[in-house]
Amino acid sequence: MVTPTEELKAAARAAGADLVGVADLAPFKRERTTLPPDLLDPYTRAAAVALHLEDAVIDGIQTAPTPDYARHYGAVNAALDRLTAELVNWLCARRFAARAIPASQLADEPNLLGSLSHRAVARMAGLGWQGRSLLIVTPQYGPRVRLATVLTDMPLAPDLPLRNRCGGCLKCVRACPATAIKRAAPAERYERREDVLQVSRCAETALQFKTRLDLAARVCGVCVSVCPFGKRRGQNRIARGK
């Protein structure tokens, strides 16, 4: 017999998701770090979905973002929003409450915060672990993914977080054009993003790239490109501590 969780995951994949997992919202409700704080009140679970970014586009990033990456970034975000809208319709047709959180939308512009952290949800949903750059690193695609979230009250079995596998690798730290990634030790969960990443410096550098290179989006992508877990099979050679 197919379980509700299997049905939802199949629906997400049918809508185009490359990865999908389920997170329990209880820990997020206790922390109440969403915007607004009562955002999660009607819901018990979150479906984390991911789309794989094209390897050819990411491989083209060396020391700065490219116009191809900026366009691809926007297109994948739009595709995620269509995917999550379809999943919301699927849930509502079965009489469950559901709400999509856009792939890339700031609820607090000055502090660079969304309504909730897609990365935190994806980690709890077992899609991947948080790397030193704070990006979700998936076993299948490394950090070469974009994320979105669907909140629901459908009774789903939550997935389990994965252990951090960054080890001694410092490639993203050394490649960061903004020198924004700190050398924080790998952890299952970082309590504060500022302990790991200088967010304002990262954002400022991305804005400089957008202005100087006339890009379609405020992006960087260097840490995405250099991560060994994102390299295609045969290219994935992790030199610990290098």
For residue range 107-130, list pLDDT tens digits in order: 888 888 899 999 999 999 999 999
Residue 194 has pLDDT above 50, yes or no: yes
Nearest to 148 by CA among 1, 54, 41, 19: 19
Question: Which pLDDT belongs to residue 188?
Answer: 84
Write the pLDDT tens digit of every residue in 31-82: 989 999 999 999 999 999 999 999 999 999 999 999 999 999 999 999 999 9
* Rounded average pLDDT over 187-201: 88
Q: How far apart are CA 57 and CA 38, in angstroms?
A: 38
Sequence length of the chain is 242
Q: How far apart are CA 144 and CA 146, in angstroms?
A: 7
Q: What are the residue boundaries of the structural domains of the chain, listed by start? A: 4-230
Q: How far apart are CA 106 and CA 129, in angstroms?
A: 23
Greatest CA separation for the chain = 56
Under the banding of pLDDT at 50, 70 and 90, the label for residue 233 is: low
Residue 8 has pLDDT above 70, yes or no: yes
Q: How many CB atoms lie within 10 A of CB 109?
A: 7
Write the pLDDT tens digit of every residue in 146-165: 999 999 999 999 999 999 99
Residue 134 has pLDDT above 80, yes or no: yes
Write the pLDDT tens digit of every residue in 203-232: 999 999 999 999 999 999 999 999 999 886
Question: Which pLDDT belongs to residue 190?
Answer: 84
DSSP state string for 36-100: STTTTTT-SEEEEEEEEPPHHHHHT-SSS--HHHHHHHHHHHHHHHHHHHHHHHHHHHTT--EEE
Element containing residue 24 per DSSP (H, E): strand 19-24
pTM of the model: 0.92
* Rounded average pLDDT over 159-178: 96
Percentage of residues of the chain with pLDDT beyond 90: 84
Residue 238 has pLDDT above 70, yes or no: no
Q: Encoding tokens for residue 202?
A: 């990262």
Under the banding of pLDDT at 50, 70 and 90, the label for residue 185 is: confident
Chain position carrying tokens 């939802």: 8
Q: How many CB atoms lie within 10 A of CB 188?
A: 11
Strand partners, 22: 47
